[in-house]
Each structure stands twice: as structure tokens, then as C-alpha cells.
């Protein structure tokens, strides 16, 4: 068991605590033996943590300084009463970047983490040298899909089913290994990827103090139009290089959205992975790591850091 724990911890890089607005969070990093122009910052999705980058951080970190951050309310971060929106998390990421990185960075995110990475590039363009998104939710899609005539009814139903007491009860009902395993397997095309290590990554934060409160607040926030700016709006405004990787067996966010996003940003490079689900970085890490490194060498590193800063 100790040997397995040592092997697992080796994947996560060097972990440290960090404080933002009086709340404690955690980050991890790995530095390459040879200095590199651009750092990388990895942002996990809902229900995950920095350790979800277990197959990526050290591999990418051999080429570029690589950081991973626990978003507030998730992972090993504190679970405060807070306005959990994309802008809120983007402010956390920006503060982290200011404190520990301070130079144009490649932002890499999965799911909600992808939306936060895009929001950072949109709100704080000076921090982003490029953005890599592994599936991308769009808060505006929900409103586009619901006819105006029934929108009040839908909103009332959502309000009923996202009540604090109901969500907290649901949290305790699903906070069990068997339930979490089934839920996680929906995110993967290959269910064998949901191993004991991944279950520990997903379950451990659920037993933190106030984890139930954070869960209900985040779910409530995600159902509101104010959760984040439309991904299409942000894509139209961002000049930095963009890479979108999408598993074609994603059951959480329709892969068809990828083509719509590509139409909005003509310089967005889209890579589809036929045998991957919602978390391609964990399901097909060798392929995803290689795709990111090749994209960096061809689409980002050909522009010098000085040119990037001047452009922004």
C-alpha cells in the first residue's frame, strides 16, 4: 500500500497550500530541467481536483513549468459560502497567476475548468498565451434551447429541485463509492479507467467540512443564467491560439457543440477523439499530452513571449 501511495503521489507533482481571500486552497507544480518560455496551468472540472491531472502534470511538466490548482469549493480547497460562478473562479485563478506565475501562461481546462480557462483569457487577456479546452460547456446554450413560452415553468421546476435542503440530502445519498463509481463511469468511454485511485480522488473531498454546502451552492449557481458568459461570445473576442479537444463519446456535453465553436473562432484547432468520453486527459492521457505538446510547438511557441505581451 505504501508503494502504491508513493507511486500515486509521484504523479501529482509537488503540492503546496495557498490562501486567497482568507480561504485556503491547494496547488501542485513541476518544473522542467530546462527553462521554457510558457508555463502551463491546469484547471479541473466539477467534482474533481488537481489530482485528476494525475497522468498529465508530470509529463507536461518535463517540457514546461506546469501548475495545477484546486478551485475553491472543490478538491482540497476550502468550501466557503461564496458566489460560485465562472467569474468567481476566474478571479481565483488570476490571483494565483499573479502571485506565483506572473507571465503569459497556457491555460488548460476540462469541462467547467475549460470554461474558467476561457473566462480567464476573456477577462484577463494579459495572463493567457493560449487556451486548451477539453470539452467546453456553454452557459448560454440552456437558454437557447428552452422556448420563451415555457421558460418560467422550467425555471420554477429548477428552483424546486435545486432547493438547499434537497441538494444536501442528495449529496449524502450519492456520497458512496458504488454511486460515485457509476456516475464516474458515465464520464468515460472505457469504464475500466474508473479505478481505485480515481475513486479516492473523487470521494475524499466529499468528506471535507461544509462539502455538502459547497455542492448545493455550486449546483444552484450552475443552473442560473448568471453562471458565466456565453462561450461563443468569449471565443469571438479572444485573439490567443485556441485548442479544443473533445471525446466523441462524451455523455455530459454534446460533442456536436465543437463544430459550432469552431465556426465562431476560425483559428480554433479542433481535435476529436473517437474512443474518449468527457475526461479525455485521464482516459487517453498519452494521446492528449502529445496533442497539447505538438500544438504548443506549432501554434504557440512560434510566437515569442515578447510578441504575445505586445499583442495583448
Give the model confidence (pLDDT) of 15-43 as tens digits. Answer: 999 999 999 999 999 999 887 789 999 99
Nearest to 133 by CA among 276, 44, 245: 245
Write out pLDDT tens, residues 194-222: 999 999 999 999 999 999 899 889 988 88
Write out pLDDT tens, residues 278-301: 999 999 999 999 999 999 999 876
Map out the domains of the chain as residue ranges: 1-300
Task: Say how many CA atoms lie within 13 Å of 153 toward its Cβ.
Answer: 5
How many residues are listed for the chain in this entry?
A: 312
Q: What is the CATH number of domain 1-300?
A: 3.40.50.1820
- Does the pLDDT of residue 243 top 90, yes or no? yes
| Predicted local confidence at residue 142, as pLDDT | 55
- Does the pLDDT of residue 139 top 70, yes or no? yes
Residue 65 · residue 91 · CB < 8 Å: no
- Give the mean model confidence (pLDDT) for residues 50-69: 97
Write out pLDDT tens, residues 158-187: 433 455 646 666 766 777 899 999 999 999
- Does the pLDDT of residue 1 top 90, yes or no? no
- Cβ neighbours of 289 (radius 10 Å): 18
Write out pLDDT tens, residues 101-110: 999 999 999 9
Give this prediction's pTM.
0.89
Nearest to 164 by CA among 85, 274, 81, 227: 81
Q: Which residue has the cell 482516459?
A: 283
User: Helix/strand/coil (H, E, C) string of the chain?
Assistant: CHHHHHHHHHHCCEEEEEEECCEEEEEEEECCCCCCCCCEEEECCCCCCHHHHCCCHHHHHCCCCEEEECCCCCCCCCCCCCCCCHHHHHHHHHHHHHHHCCCCEEEEEECHHHHHHHHHHHHCHHHEEEEEEECCCCHHHHHHHCCHHHHHHHHHHHHHHCCHHHHHHHHHHHCCHHHHHHHHHHCCCCHHHCCHHHHHHHHHHHHCCCHHHHHHHHHHHHCCHHHCCCHHHHHHHCCCCEEEEEECCCCCCCCCHHHHHHHHCCCEEEEEECCCCCCHHHHCHHHHHHHHHHHHHHHHCCCCHHHHHHHC
Residue 230 · residue 112 · CB < 8 Å: no
Spatial distance between the Cα atoms of 123 and 116, rounded to a whole number of angstroms: 10
| Predicted local confidence at residue 149, as pLDDT | 45
**Strand pairing category for 105-110 and 40-43:** parallel
| Predicted local confidence at residue 168, as pLDDT | 66
Amino acid at each position: 500500500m505504501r508503494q502504491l501511495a508513493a507511486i500515486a503521489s509521484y504523479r501529482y507533482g509537488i503540492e503546496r497550500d495557498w490562501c486567497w481571500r482568507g480561504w485556503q486552497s491547494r496547488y501542485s507544480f513541476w518544473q522542467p530541467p530546462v527553462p521554457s518560455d510558457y508555463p502551463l496551468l491546469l484547471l479541473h472540472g466539477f467534482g474533481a481536483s488537481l489530482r485528476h491531472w494525475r497522468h498529465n502534470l508530470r509529463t507536461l511538466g518535463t517540457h514546461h513549468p506546469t501548475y495545477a490548482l484546486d478551485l475553491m469549493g472543490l478538491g482540497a480547497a476550502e468550501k466557503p459560502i461564496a458566489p460560485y460562478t465562472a467569474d468567481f473562479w476566474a478571479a481565483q485563478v488570476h490571483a494565483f497567476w499573479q502571485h506565483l506565475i506572473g507571465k503569459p501562461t497556457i491555460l488548460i481546462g476540462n469541462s467547467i475548468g475549460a470554461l474558467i480557462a476561457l473566462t480567464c483569457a476573456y477577462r484577463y487577456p494579459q495572463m493567457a498565451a493560449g487556451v486548451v479546452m477539453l470539452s467546453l460547456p456553454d452557459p448560454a446554450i440552456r437558454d437557447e434551447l428552452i422556448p420563451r413560452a415555457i421558460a418560467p415553468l422550467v425555471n420554477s421546476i429548477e428552483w424546486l429541485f435545486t432547493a438547499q435542503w434537497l441538494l444536501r440530502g442528495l449529496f449524502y445519498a450519492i456520497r458512496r463509492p458504488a454511486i460515485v463509481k457509476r456516475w464516474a463511469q458515465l464520464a468515460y468511454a472505457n469504464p475500466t479507467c474508473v479505478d481505485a485511485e480515481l475513486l479516492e480522488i473523487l470521494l475524499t473531498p466529499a468528506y471535507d467540512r461544509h462539502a455538502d454546502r459547497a455542492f448545493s451552492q455550486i449546483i444552484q449557481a450552475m443552473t442560473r443564467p448568471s453562471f458565466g458568459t456565453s462561450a461563443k461570445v468569449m471565443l469571438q473576442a479572444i485573439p490567443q491560439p485556441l485548442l479544443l479537444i473533445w471525446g466523441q463519446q462524451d455523455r455530459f456535453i454534446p460533442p456536436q457543440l465543437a463544430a459550432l465553436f469552431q465556426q465562431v473562432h476560425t483559428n480554433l484547432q479542433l481535435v476529436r477523439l473517437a474512443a474518449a468520453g468527457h475526461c479525455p486527459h485521464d482516459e487517453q492521457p498519452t494521446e492528449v499530452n502529445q496533442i497539447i505538446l505538438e500544438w504548443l510547438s506549432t501554434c504557440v511557441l512560434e510566437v515569442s513571449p515578447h510578441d504575445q505581451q505586445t499583442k495583448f
